[in-house]
Amino acid sequence: MQIMDFVAGLWPELAIITNGSNLTDLDEVEKIAKNIESTSLINKNVMVAVSLVTAEVKELKIQILELKAKIKEAKYVP
């Protein structure tokens, strides 16, 4: 009954994975749930980092285009 109570209190995503494993050892269920939760947090952190890098790359592309336009203007001054 402890395992069922523990699984029932998990996030739905964790409950599905741990419940689908048909585990009979509460320690093993807790270990799996903690591993999945850690992986989820790592994935969220990676997504935030990727978003920040993507925004920075977009800003750099804008700066490059602006500089190219300035160079073009400087070349064609009569």
Q: pLDDT by residue (tens digit) across 40-62?
A: 778 788 888 899 999 999 999 99
Instruction: For residue 3, give every residue at least 6 positions away whose Cβ sits within 8 Å of its Cβ, in sequence order, or none.
Output: 23, 24, 25, 26, 29
Between CA 26 and CA 38, with CA 32 as vertex, the angle to 5 degrees is 135
- Beta strand residue intervals within the chain, DSSP E: none
Amino acid at 73: E
Least confident of 4-13, 26-35, 56-65: 4-13
Q: Which two tokens stand for residue 16?
A: 């599905």
Q: What's the pTM value of the predicted model, to 2 decimals?
A: 0.49
pLDDT of residue 73: 85
Higher pLDDT, 11 or 62: 62
- Contact present, 47 and 69 (Cβ < 8 Å): no
Average pLDDT in the chain? 76
